[in-house]
Amino acid sequence: MEHEVFVPVPVPTLLRTLGDPARVARCVPGLQQDADAASPLAGRLKLRVGGHTITYRGELLLTGPDRDRFAVTGKGVEARGTGAVELALTIGLTATDGGTTISYSGTADGDGRLVELEEGAALAAAHRLLERFTQQLVTESLAGREDADADADADTDADADAGTDADADDAVAAEGLAGDEEGPGVADGSGDEIRSADEIRAGDAHDVDGPGGDDHGSVYDSPVPPPSLDPVAGVEFTVPDEPPAEAAHARRTMIGRSAE
């Protein structure tokens, strides 16, 4: 069996998809994975052949890549019946202008219900299965590439944010260094201001005590006699030898009244 199809997807993108069994399992049409299976490619596969549906239980094994090729082998038994089938398939990827050419080549042997069908029905079913697998492979590959681009953009934005934060930190650090360099000068200026204030106060004291303060000194330095405790000290009172006429008359009047 040979089958070839062109897809508008580059070879590296397809290689990444085919190299992941879980993603390949999502591309196989009609595959229902077993919940307890160790491999994502183990389960049930429903195959539509000649108007009939045959369900096989088995597992596919994907190996590669070997350069640009993958090998697929598989075995399955009918879920209802005694028939079985074996598959050996090679998937080749060839870079083509605008995309990739995918080539399938392989063999399939079986018995049971598959061989009871009319001639050519199994081959047509195999081609149809590969066509649908290829469509899903393209969808899965493009979705994975978009996710990778989104992750790359997110990483770029994160790096840009980190660079912005680093620049901001550098700016803050530079301002801190500038502040440290200006710090001693400010302290010196404060000291100069303090010293200037001290010098001003010292100058005021010097003006009071110095030659420029002689006028003030003559007032405070002049000897002041202590005040006397006697309020009338230094005041002379003159006592007349003869009382005034009015006083003598009053005295005589008082003596006369006393004699009476």
Q: Where are the domains of the chain?
A: 2-155
pLDDT (tens digit per residue) in 83-96 = 999 999 999 999 99
pLDDT (tens digit per residue) in 200-245 = 455 544 444 444 444 444 444 545 555 444 444 444 444 444 554 5
d(C-alpha 25, C-alpha 199), whole Å: 92
pLDDT (tens digit per residue) in 30-85 = 999 988 888 999 999 999 888 889 999 999 999 999 989 999 999 999 999 889 99
Does residue 134 register a pLDDT over 50?
Answer: yes
Question: What string of H, E and C letters represents the secondary structure of 43-101?
Answer: EEEEEEECCEEEEEEEEEEEEEEECCEEEEEEEEEECCCCCEEEEEEEEEEEEECCEEE
pLDDT (tens digit per residue) in 156-214 = 555 555 555 656 566 655 666 555 555 444 444 444 444 554 554 555 444 444 444 44
CA distances from 256 to 246, 247, 249, 251, 259 (A): 15, 14, 11, 9, 5
Q: CB count, 10 Å around CB of 12? A: 13
Q: CB count, 10 Å around CB of 31? A: 18
Q: What is the pTM of this model?
A: 0.57
Q: Is the dihedral of CA 246, 250, 251, 256 positive or negative?
A: positive
The answer as to CATH 3.40.50.300 being correct for domain 2-155 is no
d(C-alpha 73, C-alpha 89), whole Å: 6
CA distances from 92 to 11, 69, 134, 137 (A): 10, 5, 12, 14
Q: Which of 186, 73, 199, 49 is nearest to 125 (CA)?
A: 49
d(C-alpha 139, C-alpha 132), whole Å: 11
d(C-alpha 170, C-alpha 6), whole Å: 54
CA distances from 21 to 57, 113, 136 (A): 18, 29, 14
3-state secondary structure of 103: strand
| Residues in the chain, total | 260
